[in-house]
Amino acid sequence: MKIGFIGLGNMGAPMAANLAAAGHDVSGYDVASTTAQGVTVASDIATAVDGAEVVITMLPNGAILRDVADSALPRMTAGSLLIDCSTVDVESARDTASQADAAGVLFVDAPVSGGIGGAAAGTLTFMAGGSDSAFEKAAPLFDIMGQKAVHCGDAGAGQAAKICNNMILGVTMIATCEAFAMADKLGLDRQKMFDVVSTSSGYSWSMNAYCPAPGVGPQSPADNDYTPGFASELMVKDLGLSQQAAEGADADTPMGALALALYKQFVENEDGLGKDFSAMLPRFEARSRDT
């Protein structure tokens, strides 16, 4: 299959490389001129998408998605497929779907979970929104780039699922870090804390799979000085999208709003920029109740 891939960053490059390794003819473009193994470098968006049966995008935000769609869709043939794997606002996903439909192009919004490691290993989870026919055409490619794809509903449903998931993730990571910091001050051994919570009602992905305490639980960014697997500034982005969506849907999300405020403070006013989102633990360790 001839595939155009727009956005060869930390996530897009390994995803495109996995498609090429599976035998697909992948032409990739990135504004930063980054490349990916096995992928033919395109000089611009038009070159990347010309003749492509499928175009995949992995972009920073909804505004850039709209710009790329404006450039790509007029050059795509009727019946071809546009898969957007970016994490963007629901409105941008739905507007791009409408634009694709007008051009006779199938569209799936398919944000991912699994981080850079999952992109490299081909173990991502895709949360997909779009028609049944669009999802069916995309499914074999999801199988190459990931281990699971869930068809969540119509266009925009994939973004809605991703936003809700990451709001839970941000809130539970903060709670996990708070609990470890409090356990320290209560004199509770971190390993004992993990042994209890990871098999009790406090069980969560943040605790069991991505423990923020170094040397405790499975290997995680905490064991590498909080070098990002998922950067704190990306959590700010996703929590911001969650609150934008909540406002539009008139949903009461006080914990999501507080998580956004705390991560923004961490990134903008403390030392969280460029650190993994689990680096909230040393932040709480260094603070007292009144600071």
Catalytic center residues: 162
Distance (Å, whole) CA 3 – CA 50: 9
**Identity of the amino acid at 62:** G
Burial 251-284 (b: 16+ CB within 10 A, else e): eebeebbebbebbbebbeebebeebbbbbbbbbb
Q: Let me know how long the chain is.
A: 291
- The residue whose two tokens read 């935000």 is 61
Cross-strand bridge partners of residue 109: 84, 129
| 23-41 burial code (b ≥16 CB/10 A, e <16) | ebbbbbbbeeebebebbbe
Residue type, 283: R
φ/ψ (deg, to 5) at 214: -60, 140
**Number of continuous H segments (helices) and E segments (strands) in the chain:** 12, 9
Q: How far apart, in whole angstroms, are the C-alpha atoms of residue 85 and residue 80?
A: 16
Distances (CA, A) of 50 to 40, 81, 138: 13, 13, 19
